[in-house]
Structure formats: structure tokens, C-alpha cells
Structure 1
Amino acid sequence: MYIPQHYKNENLKEVKEFIINNSFGILINHMNGKPWATHIPLELDKDANGKDILVGHIAKANPQWKYFVENNEVLCIFNGPHSYVSSSWYLEEEVPTWNYIAVHIYGLLKIQDEKALMASLHKLVDKYERKSENPVSLNNLSKKTLRQVKGVIGFEIEIKEIQAAYKLSQGREQDHPKIIEKLENRDASSGHAIAEAMKKSKFKNLNEEVYR
């Protein structure tokens, strides 16, 4: 992804937190030379060696999995909040723009065996049921219901490269107070989230951990 230098976020801790909190991503590979994308949860995890990986699954009815070639590179996209920014909020004349947060991850895909798939599904359900009033657990589901697992393919992606774009009106720091005020006064929750991200960006640690 094209990222101007001043929009790059190389703080690994912050980017990991973003992925965890925005884990409904897009998995992209090639089918017969044509890009194919599926919108699915892609959870950040670690493999047996402690390396960062993404874990997910798709339906066998989705032909994408038939083109999962071991160790072929895939692209995963994670979208965060975004918002239109009116140039009427600037001190000086300029064109409007759009602020956003997005992360692209390139990695090598490996299909899971059934044991690893079930372990990842337990983690996935437990994560999102944690705050439920009546949480569901796969441990309590009948064998008949769990047979549906036969209809999915699980996979792991060894992370090779992370590209993180945090476009938050860098270079227009003099306009930040007005931009933040206007975003906070809007109804859109994504605008509020961008305002919060702009506030946090002022206090970023300069000693960032760089993912290589």
C-alpha cells in the first residue's frame, strides 16, 4: 500500500492492538490470475515458536480455499475508523481530505489440521462471548451442531510484513483543535474515533518498536 512517510505507523505494539480490536478483515489471494477477497475474522495469535501469526477459517463452499497453496503469499487488510475532513476547518485555504487508519499484512498461508482448527475456533468464540450475558461455549454444543465444523477450512498466516497507515492530519497540527472539535460534534461514531486517534497521536512514544 502506498503510505507517505509521515503517515506510517511503525509502533508494533500500537499496530498489534489495532489488529486485535479491528480483527474483521479481508483475505486476498489469486484464483486463476484474478484477485479474490473474503471478509472474515482474522485473529492475531502466536505459533508454537512464539512468532506472530494470523488465524482464520472460511467455508468449504467458498472456492477461494482451493487456491490456498502452501507458503504462497496472501494479503490481509484491516480497516479502522475513517472520516471526511472539511477544509473549512482549516486556518488557511486548502482542499478537503479524508482521515483514516488501515493496516495491510503480507504473509505465508498454511492450512490447519482439524485439531488446530478446533483450538482456534474455541479461542475465537471465547473472545467474542466474553462480555455476553449468556456466553456460548463450543464445549457445550452438541456433536450434531459441531458437525458444521466439517464445512470449514482453517488456516494460519505467517506474518512477513506489516504496513500501517495512520492518516491523521499530520502536517496540519495547527488545525488539529478545530478538526477534533468538529469531528466530535458529528453524529458519526467513526468521526469520534478519528478524533480520539488524533488526540493520542500527540503522545506517541518516539522510541517505537519497528516490525521487520
Structure 2
Amino acid sequence: MYIPQHYINENLKEVKEFIINNSFGILINYVGGKPWATHIPLELDKDRNGNDILVGHIAKANPQWKYFVEDTEVLCIFNGPHTYVSSSWYAEEEVPTWNYIAVHIHGKIKIQDEQALMASLHKLVDKYERQSEKPISLNNLSKNTLRQVKGVIGFEIHIKEIQAAYKLSQGREHDHPKIIKELEKRNTSGGHGIAEAMKKSKNKKK
């Protein structure tokens, strides 16, 4: 994706943390010559050699998986908070803009065998059940219920490139206090998320 130089985030640790916390992504490849996208959890993990990978699964009814030719490159998109920024919050006249955080990952896809699929499903469920009052485990589900796993295809994406855009009003640092204040006044999760990201970025520079 196009990222102006001053919006590029090359802090790999921070970007990985973002992916972990915003793992509901978009998987894109070509199906019958046309771009095809599926919205699914894409979990950051490591392969047996310690290399970073993304792990996910889709329904067999989704034709996308039939085009998962090994070593074919795919694109994964992860969206974070985003919000409109009014130029009325600036000290000087300027046009409005939009602040956002987004990460694109290019990688090569490989279909999992059944054992690897089940291992990744256990990790996925365990991750999101941690905060449940009565967490479930796949270990406790009946064979009849787990039969539904036969209806999905698991895959791994071996990461080749990570592109991270953090557009947080860089170059307008003198306006940040006002922008943050106005965003916090708005009752939107995107606005609050961007305000927190701007404060975090400011603290790192101190």
C-alpha cells in the first residue's frame, strides 16, 4: 500500500502487538481471475523454525480455498482505529483529514493438515475464552459437535513483507493536545482509539 514516509511504522514489536490485538483481518487472493476477500481471524504465530506466520481457516463452502496454490502470494489486511479529524482543531487554516492505523501483510499460503488445523483451532479458542466467565475448551466438546471441523480448511501464511501505516497527525505535533481533547469528547471507539495511539506515540518521543 502507499504510505508516506512519515506515516511508516518500522517498530516490528509494536506492529506485531497490533496484529495480535486486531487479528480479525481480511484475506485476499484471486478467485477465477477476480480479487476475492474473506473476513476472518488471522492469528500471528510461529512455524517449527521460529519464523512468523499467520494462521487461519475458512469454510470449505467458500471457493477461495480452491485457489490456495502452494507458494501463491496472498494479501492480509488488518484495520485498527480510524477517525475523521476536523481542521477546526488546528491553530492554522488547513483541510480536514482522516487518521488511522492499518497493517498489510504479504505472504505465501500453505494448506494445513488435519493435525495442524486442530492445534490452531485450540489456540484460537483458548485465546478468546480467557476472559469468559465460564470458558469452554475444544477438549470438552463432543465428537458430534467437533465433526463441524470437517467443514473447514486450515492454512498458514508465511510472511514475506509487513507494511504498517500509522497516520496520527504527524507534522502537526503543536495541534496534538487539541486534536486529542476533541477526539476524547466524541463518543466513538475510533476516535478514542486514535487519541490513545497519539498519546502513546507522544510519550515514546519523550
- The two structures have a TM-score, normalised by structure 1, of 0.96
Q: Matches of 1:123 and 1:74 in 2, distance apart?
A: 23
- Amino acid corresponding to residue 71 of structure 1 in structure 2: D
Unaligned residue ranges in structure 2 (runs of 5+): none
- Amino acid corresponding to residue 31 of structure 1 in structure 2: V
Q: Matches of 2:163 and 2:112 in 1, distance apart?
A: 25
Q: 1:57-100: CA deviations, max 9, x gaps?
A: 00000000000000100000000000000000000000000000
Query: 5 Å matches for 1:37-56?
Result: 37-56=37-56
Tell me the equivalent position of 2:61. 61
Compute the displacement of 1:12 (Å): 0.3
- Does residue 150 (structure 1) correspond to residue 131 (structure 2)? The answer is no
Q: Matches of 2:150 and 2:189 in 1, distance apart?
A: 38
3-state SS, counterpart of residue 161 of structure 2? strand
Quick one: structure 1 residues 198 and 44, their matched pair in 2 at CA, closer, same or farther if it must change by over 3 Å? same
Tell me the equivalent position of 1:137. 137
Q: 1:147-206: CA deviations, max 9, x gaps?
A: 000000000000000000000000000100000000001100110110010011123379
Q: Matches of 1:110 and 1:172 in 2, distance apart?
A: 44
Tell me the equivalent position of 2:128. 128
3-state SS, counterpart of residue 106 of structure 1? strand
Tell me the equivalent position of 1:92. 92
- Amino acid corresponding to residue 54 of structure 2 in structure 1: L
Q: Matches of 1:204 and 1:133 in 2, distance apart?
A: 35
3-state SS, counterpart of residue 17 of structure 1? helix
Tell me the equivalent position of 1:36. 36
Query: 5 Å matches for 1:190-205?
Result: 190-204=190-204
Tell me the equivalent position of 2:182. 182
Quick one: structure 1 residues 139 and 205, their matched pair in 2 at CA, closer, same or farther if it must change by over 3 Å? farther
3-state SS, counterpart of residue 166 of structure 1? strand
Q: Matches of 2:16 and 2:32 in 1, distance apart?
A: 32
Q: Matches of 1:154 and 1:100 in 2, distance apart?
A: 30
Q: Matches of 1:83 and 1:107 in 2, distance apart?
A: 29
Q: Matches of 2:167 and 2:81 in 1, distance apart?
A: 11
Quick one: structure 1 residues 63 and 15, their matched pair in 2 at CA, closer, same or farther if it must change by over 3 Å? same
Unaligned residue ranges in structure 1 (runs of 5+): 207-212
Tell me the equivalent position of 2:104. 104
Tell me the equivalent position of 1:82. 82
Q: Matches of 2:201 and 2:195 in 1, distance apart?
A: 10
Q: Matches of 1:144 and 1:137 in 2, distance apart?
A: 15
In the alignment of these two chains, the number of paired residues is 206
Compute the displacement of 1:33 (Å): 1.4
Tell me the equivalent position of 2:24. 24
RMSD: 1.0
3-state SS, counterpart of residue 49 of structure 2? coil
